[in-house]
Amino acid sequence: MTTALRRLRNYIDGEFRDAADGRTTEVVNPATGEAYATAPLSAAADVDAAMAAAEAAFPAWRDLIPAERQKVLLKIADRFEERAEELIAAESENCGKPVALVRSEEIPPMVDQIRFFAGAARMLEGRAAGEYMEGFTSIIRREPVGVCAQVAPWNYPMMMAVWKFAPALAAGNTVVIKPSDTTPASTVLIADIIGSVLDELGHSRGVFNVICGDRETGRLMVEHKIPAMASITGSVRAGMQVAESASKDLKRVHLELGGKAPVVVFEDTDIPKAVEDISVAGYFNAGQDCTAATRVLVHEAIHDEFVAALAKAASETKTGAVDDEDVLYGPLNNANQLKQVKGFIERLPAHAKIEAGGEQVGDKGYFFAPTVVSGLKQDDEIVQQEVFGPVITVQSFSDEKQAVEWANGVEYALASSVWTKDHARAMRMSKSLDFGCVWINTHIPLVAEMPHGGFKKSGYGKDLSAYGFDDYTRIKHVMTSLDG
């Protein structure tokens, strides 16, 4: 007997709908490698319907006083808590993530982030009104940009959806969001939650819409005439394509792309503590995190000791089933990603040494062992390109100047960390490292109040914080004559 696949649907103007042409794609649980659902493969007619719904809902949502939008977001946060177990189950099946970690590491920050932006809705800031020309008063209006086309990734589909819709809705925009074609389940559930809140509080459910589909669906969203802004979290290639497509009608673009975070470890570091924290930051979520601690640069004086300790930590790190509370991470998200990670290992140069891991785990699903690779050079592929898997590379540096040069010597510039007891050195490094975030003696913590975003090919625009909120607003100058 074959198990019937669950049927996921688009959410457009408050209704769950199949794709207009009936096309679907199968959704696979990466922990088993087996399909568990179907989702719409949306085309132009579906995108048109969602954009029209968001456009129709925009004027009333825009014109609400901020306190009313805040009420909606606070109610959404409450509902996330009330339906947490549903969200956890959906995300675990979506991604193969350990249930316990979704419960402890994703639900609480998501709820907190929604509540943060609920507060931000009432904290619009601008220059003080005043007379900057004799006889005239100038004021600044901060307004929503309009309909936002948003594309979320597959590594944190639920949390990245929050990072996108929360500031957009708080600022008065309406939303059409597309989850990855491999991870639509939790976003469809979020649509049910938000739609029910909008309905209860008497607002148009067209404020929030979900379209399932593939890259072509995303392209149709970005190129559609209605959205004023396109936001994507994804690969560098996808970001470049979005920027090119959006340029045709000068849409605003918000890009959070890849990362290759350097982890610079100096000789005065507490090695056991650093190894413990770095291995968690490198392997959490199977290394499928743009800020993951995957590129370690360690001072030559402690290189051998550090590598041995890191390899031991990797051998003690566990990946496995979603219901095993002892595992740190689950599988890679899809078969293509498993193939990509394997490819990096297979193409390692002769001078590289696999200190731990380096192979697929089990014969079911897309699990990969926690891996440490040493003996690498700055221009090696695995140092320069984002692996997006549970692989930590190690290089040995001789002095601070070389550490900075190698740390900055990649095309990505999202996150980095410095490990030292020397405060002055930490300050010098934080100034010299060309990354959107520099952690000192830690790696990967995020808070709603602080911005997340990078430079160079890691994209532009900020998530979280007041800066992320500002990205979803536009500035208008209003000048009035005092002569009446």
pLDDT tens sequence for the chain (484 residues): 456 899 999 999 999 999 999 999 999 999 999 999 999 999 999 999 999 999 999 999 999 999 999 999 999 999 999 999 999 999 999 999 999 999 999 999 999 999 999 999 998 877 788 999 999 999 999 999 999 999 999 999 999 999 999 999 999 999 999 999 999 999 999 999 999 999 999 999 999 999 999 999 999 999 999 999 999 999 999 999 999 999 999 999 999 999 999 999 999 999 999 999 999 999 999 999 999 999 999 999 999 999 999 999 999 999 999 999 999 999 999 999 999 999 999 999 999 999 999 999 999 999 999 999 999 999 999 999 999 999 999 999 999 999 999 999 999 999 999 999 999 999 999 999 999 999 999 999 999 999 999 999 999 999 999 999 999 999 999 999 999 7
Q: Following DSSP, what letter does each residue of 387-400 receive, concatenated? A: --SSEEEEEEESSH
Give yes or no for a contact between 150 and 232, defined as CB atoms under 8 angstroms apart. yes
Name the phi and psi angles at 163, rounded to 5.
-60, -25
The vertex-196 CA angle with 192 and 198, nearest 5°, equals 120
Which domains does the chain possess?
Answer: 6-257+458-477 (3.40.605.10), 262-448 (3.40.309.10)
Would you state the pLDDT for residue 2?
52
Q: The whole model's pTM is what?
A: 0.96
Q: Which residues are catalytic?
A: 256, 290
CA distance between the termini of the chain: 81
* pLDDT computed for residue 8 by the predictor: 98
| Alpha-carbon gap, residue 473 to 192, rounded angstroms | 26
List of residues 6+ apart from 467 with CB closer than 8 A = 451, 453
Q: What pLDDT, on a 0 to 100 scale, did the predictor assign at position 127?
A: 79
Alpha carbon distance 111, 242 (integer Å): 29
156 touches 106 (CB < 8 A): yes
Beta strand 473-481 pairing with 391-397:
unpaired
b/e per residue 157-194 (b: at least 16 CB within 10 A): bbbbbbbbbbbbbbbbbbbbbbbbbbbbbbbbbbbebb
Q: What sign for the dihedral angle of Cα 35, 81, 446, 314?
A: negative
Report pLDDT for 396. Answer: 98
Residue 330, both tokens: 């689950």
Give me the pLDDT at residue 259, please: 96
Identify the H or E element spanning 306. helix 303-316
